[in-house]
Structure 1
Amino acid sequence: MLRFAAVGLDHGHIFDHVKGLLVAGAEFVGYCPESTAPGVIRAMEQSYPETPKISRERILGDPTIDLICISAVPADRAGLAVRAMKAGKDVMVDKPGITTFDQLAEVRKTVEETGRIFSICFTERHCVRSAVKAGKIVQEGAIGRVVQTIGTGPHKLQLASRPDWFFDPERFGGILVDIASHQIDQFLFYTGSTTANIVASSIGNFAMPEKPAFQDFGDLLLRSDTATGYVRVDWFTPEALGTWGDGRLTILGTEGYIELRKYIDISGRPGKDHLFLVNKTENRYIDCSGEDLTYFRAFVDDVHSRTETAMPQEHVFEVCRLSLEAQARAVRIGG
Structure 2
Amino acid sequence: MTEPLRFAAIGLDHRHIYHMVGELLAEGAVCAGFCPETSDPRVLEGFRERFPDLAPVERERLFDDPSVNIVLSAAIPRDRPGIATRAMRAGKDVMVDKPGATTLDQVEAIGKVAAETGRIFSICFSERFIVRACEAATRLVEAGEIGRVVQTVGLGPHRLNRPIRPGWFFEHAAHGGILVDIASHQIDQFLFFTGAEDATIVSSAVANHNLPDVPDFEDYGEILLRSKDASGFIRVDWFTPDGLDAWGDGRLFLLGTEGYIELRKYIDIAGRKGADHLFLSNGKGTGHIDASGEPLTYFRRFLDDVRERTATAMPEGHALTVTRLAIQAQAAASTVG
TM-score (normalised: structure 1): 0.99
Structure 2 counterparts to residues 198-209 of structure 1, below 5 A? 198-209=201-212
Deviation at residue 193 of structure 1 after TM alignment: 0.4
The match for 2:282 is 279
The match for 2:97 is 94
8 A contact 2:34–2:54 mirrored in 1:
yes
The match for 1:263 is 266
1:46 aligns with 2:68: no
Paired with 1:202 and 1:291, the residues of 2 have a C-alpha distance of 35
2:102 match: secondary structure: coil
Deviation at residue 28 of structure 1 after TM alignment: 1.4
Deviation at residue 40 of structure 1 after TM alignment: 1.1
Paired with 2:64 and 2:317, the residues of 1 have a C-alpha distance of 28
Paired with 1:223 and 1:46, the residues of 2 have a C-alpha distance of 44
Deviation at residue 313 of structure 1 after TM alignment: 2.0
1:192 aligns with 2:205: no
Q: Deviations over 1:68-107 (max 9, x none)?
A: 0000001000111000001110010000011100000100
State the AA in 2 paired with 1:294.
T
Paired with 1:85 and 1:115, the residues of 2 have a C-alpha distance of 8
1:212 aligns with 2:218: no
The match for 1:33 is 36
Paired with 1:250 and 1:127, the residues of 2 have a C-alpha distance of 17
Paired with 1:63 and 1:28, the residues of 2 have a C-alpha distance of 14
1:327 match: secondary structure: helix
Among 229, 235, 240, the residue aligned to 1:232: 235
Paired with 1:46 and 1:164, the residues of 2 have a C-alpha distance of 23
1:326 aligns with 2:333: no
The match for 1:253 is 256
Among 122, 130, 153, the residue aligned to 1:119: 122
Paired with 2:235 and 2:63, the residues of 1 have a C-alpha distance of 38
8 A contact 2:72–2:96 mirrored in 1:
yes
Deviation at residue 22 of structure 1 after TM alignment: 1.2
Runs of 4+ with deviation above 4 angstroms: none
The match for 2:11 is 8
Deviation at residue 282 of structure 1 after TM alignment: 1.7
2:19 match: secondary structure: helix
State the AA in 1 paired with 2:244.
L
Among 139, 143, 147, the residue aligned to 1:140: 143
Paired with 1:51 and 1:10, the residues of 2 have a C-alpha distance of 17
Structure 2 residue ranges without an equivalent (≥5): none
State the AA in 2 paired with 1:108.
G
8 A contact 2:12–2:36 mirrored in 1:
yes
1:306 aligns with 2:303: no
Paired with 2:32 and 2:90, the residues of 1 have a C-alpha distance of 17
Among 132, 154, 158, the residue aligned to 1:151: 154
Paired with 2:13 and 2:176, the residues of 1 have a C-alpha distance of 15
Paired with 1:306 and 1:169, the residues of 2 have a C-alpha distance of 36
1:99 match: secondary structure: coil
TM-score (normalised: structure 2): 0.98
Deviation at residue 16 of structure 1 after TM alignment: 1.2
Paired with 1:172 and 1:87, the residues of 2 have a C-alpha distance of 26
8 A contact 2:100–2:319 mirrored in 1:
no
Q: Deviations over 1:40-64 (max 9, x none)?
A: 1111111111110001111101010
1:313 match: secondary structure: coil
The match for 1:290 is 293
Deviation at residue 327 of structure 1 after TM alignment: 0.4
8 A contact 2:77–2:175 mirrored in 1:
yes
1:251 match: secondary structure: strand
8 A contact 2:73–2:97 mirrored in 1:
yes
Among 84, 88, 110, the residue aligned to 1:85: 88
State the AA in 2 paired with 1:235.
W
Q: Deviations over 1:280-303 (max 9, x none)?
A: 112110000000000000000000
Q: Identity across aligned pairs (percent)?
A: 57
**Bigger mean CA deviation after superposition, 22-31 or 138-147:** 22-31
Paired with 1:114 and 1:88, the residues of 2 have a C-alpha distance of 7
2:212 match: secondary structure: coil
State the AA in 2 paired with 1:122.
F
Q: Deviations over 1:248-292 (max 9, x none)?
A: 000000110000000001110011000000001121100000000
State the AA in 1 paired with 2:276.
D
